[in-house]
Amino acid sequence: MKIELNNYGIKRIRQGNPLIQVEDLKQNIKKIPLEWIEFVDNKNKYVATGYLGKQNKGFGWVIDQTQRPIDQAFLIEKFQQALDQRQAFFADDTTTAFRLFNGEGDGFGGVTVDYYADYLVISWYNETIYHFQKLIVDSWLEVFPNAKGVVEKIRFKSELKESRWLAGEKPQEPLIVLENGVSYAVYLDEGYMTGIFLDQKEVRGRLTEGLAAGQKVLNMFSYTGAFSVAAAYGGALETTSVDLAQRSLPKTQEQFEVNGLSLEQQKIIVMDTFDYFRYALRKHLSYNLIILDPPSFARNKKKTFSVAKDYGRLIEDSVEILSEEGMIIASTNAANLPIKKFKQAIETALENKNVSYQLTESYRLPADFPASNFEESNYLKVLFYTIKK
Ligand code: SAH
């Protein structure tokens, strides 16, 4: 099927941006075609091949500009390229979980593939790509025949269950994976999330490598406590993990246990972050290292939290319970918040608190999460601030 793009859309594609937006299309599409599309200009001349699909970002993806058919041979070539680029990860025995295929960053938007100790987890981000599920899974098993099993995640609006075991062996629960020598218990077939966010490996690596040694660490929005475990493994004096979700308590305990780390110096608290700030202040608790990694948006009771609106407050509250000299690790995965604005929000808050500060390290997506040529694609932003009160 052919679909006409306007000049604005064509220009963006030629600049290397593979994301199609509704505004790029000449006609109004009512029903999204479940097939590969030939995008053409107003003279019916070929521009690119791709597909339309509704997902959290955009309205479709460009996947080729050479007029090749999108068949199994094409997919196998793409997937093999991605595998070749990850040989250093496969060669490293101390890390057994990483991303094999990062959607648009590996030249094919709408699908990602993660590797967890011989299992594959494939995430589908729109219905059109899911229509090609069999072709894509078969192509993966062709380039990666040693996969022990495959699990899929449905990350678009659908009646389908969000997680499903697809092929091969059923993964153990938990499955233990390694990252920089630290063990993490993951549950591959349990909702959208597995227990670890693989894109934070470099930050966890810094914590295990020595940044946390001898420190009192506070991990806010801790989920399964992965940052706390990395810090404890790296010699933290004590860690405190705070998350609103009940499940975070047993899940975090388990992460310490699988590493043989005693729970004695680890506090795990099920509480709203902002309530914990008040509690800590009242109890005169203080920390040398505070990690902030909130979701982009969350709702608790009547309150909503959004990174753009509330990050400054998180920083100000953190300064209140930071030791005289300390560090704040400020992280966000909000794709729609440019790094400049994120930095500005943090630094305005630090200036409001009259502290001296220095941005000492910063991290974006790691090498196994290549980004594409548009700002939202490199969504992860992690800034380390050294602070003197
Ligand atoms: N930092 C974690 C990932 C955080 S995911 C890691 O690296 O693994 C976001 C977490 O924030 C979720 O577990 C969610 O339960 C928690 N959360 C959302 N709103 C919260 C709030 N107001 N207070 C505390 N935790 C919250």
Per residue in 33-92, pLDDT (tens digit) is 999 999 999 999 999 999 999 998 899 999 999 999 999 999 999 999 999 999 999 999
Q: What is the distance in A from the centroid of ligand 1 to the CA of 108?
A: 29
169 and 282 assigned to the same domain: no
Q: What is the pTM of this model?
A: 0.96
Reported confidence tier of residue 156, pLDDT bands at 50, 70, 90: very high
pLDDT in tens, 92-115: 999 999 999 999 999 999 999 999
- Indicate the helix (H) or strand (E) that contains 313: helix 307-320
Asked whether residue 38 is assigned to any structural domain, the reply reads yes
Output the average pLDDT for the chain: 96
Quick one: which of 94, 273, 270, 289 has its CA closest to 184?
A: 94
More confident residue, 375 or 165: 165
Q: Is the predicted pLDDT of residue 356 greater than 80, yes or no?
A: yes
* Whether residue 240 is found in the same domain as residue 319: yes
Domain range for residue 100? 72-173
Phi, psi of 233 (to 5 degrees): -60, -35
Residue 192 in any domain: the answer is no
- Please report whether residue 178 resides in a domain: no
CB atoms closer than 10 angstroms to residue 188: 25
Structure confidence at residue 77 (pLDDT): 97
Distance of CA 84 from the midpoint of ligand 1 (Å): 34
| Tally of structural domains, the chain | 3
pLDDT attached to residue 56: 84
Tell which one of 223, 305, 313 to mutate to probe ligand 1, the residue whose CB is within 8 A of the most ligand atoms. 223
Of 110, 140, 173, the residue that ends a domain is: 173
In a shared domain, residues 59 and 76: no
Tell me if 186 sits within 8 A of 114, measured CB to CB: no
Which atom of ligand 1 lies nearest, measured to the CA of 273?
23
Q: Domain check: are 47 and 103 in the same one?
A: no
Longest dimension (CA), the chain: 71
The angle that helices 133-143 and 72-84 make with each other, rounded to 10 degrees, is 50
Question: How far is residue 97's CA from residue 117's CA, in Å, rounded to a whole number?
Answer: 6
Q: How confident is the model at residue 307 (pLDDT cuts 50, 70, 90)?
A: confident
CA of 70 to the centre of ligand 1 (A): 39
Please tell me the distance from the alpha carbon of residue 373 to that of residue 161, in angstroms, as a whole number: 32
Ligand 1 neighbour 244 (Cβ under 6 A): yes
> Do 334 and 307 meet the contact criterion of CB atoms below 8 Å apart?
yes
The model's confidence at residue 123, banded by pLDDT at 50, 70 and 90, is very high
Question: Do 9 and 143 lie in a common domain?
Answer: no
Give a yes or no: residue 34 inside a domain: yes
Half-sphere exposure for 151 (CA within 13 Å, toward CB): 27
CATH code for the domain of 157:
3.30.750.80
Q: Which of 22, 42, 64 is the last residue of a domain?
A: 64
Return the ligand 1 atom nearest residue 300 CA.
22
Q: Are residues 282 and 318 in the same domain?
A: yes
Query: Is 189 inside a domain boundary?
Result: no
Q: Whose CA is nearest to atom 15 of ligand 1?
A: 245
pLDDT at 261: 97
How much of the chain exceeds pLDDT 90, in percent? Answer: 94
Q: Looking at residue 304, what is its pLDDT?
A: 82
CATH number reported for the structural domain that contains residue 223 in this entry: 3.40.50.150
The whole-angstrom separation of Cα 290 and Cα 321 is 9
Confirm or reject: Cβ of 227 under 6 Å from ligand 1: yes
pLDDT at position 298: 74
Please identify, by atom number, the ligand 1 atom nearest to the C-alpha of residue 242: 24
In contact, 334 and 296? CB cutoff 8 Å = yes
Give the pLDDT score at 98.
Answer: 98
Q: Is residue 76 part of a domain?
A: yes
Residue type, 320: E
Q: Of ligand 1's atoms, which has the minimum distance to the CA of residue 303? A: 22
C-alpha–C-alpha distance, residues 123 and 126, integer Å: 9
Residue 28 is part of a domain; what is its CATH number?
Answer: 2.30.130.10
Residue 226 CA, closest ligand 1 atom number: 8
Look up residue 113 and give its two tokens: 């593939």
Single-letter amino acid code for the residue at 28: N
Residues 213 and 272 in one domain: yes
Rounded CA gap, 41 and 200, in Å?
41
Q: Which of 196, 217, 243, 293 to mutate to test the pocket of ligand 1 (most atoms within 8 A of CB)?
A: 243
Q: Tell me: the pLDDT tens digits for 256-303?
A: 999 999 999 999 999 999 999 999 999 999 999 999 999 987 777 777
Same-domain status, 89 and 41: no
Ligand 1 and 332: CB distance under 6 A: no
Quick one: which of 233, 269, 277, 116 has its CA closest to 185?
Answer: 116
Task: Report the C-alpha gap between 228 and 335 in whole angstroms.
Answer: 25
369 and 227 part of one domain = yes
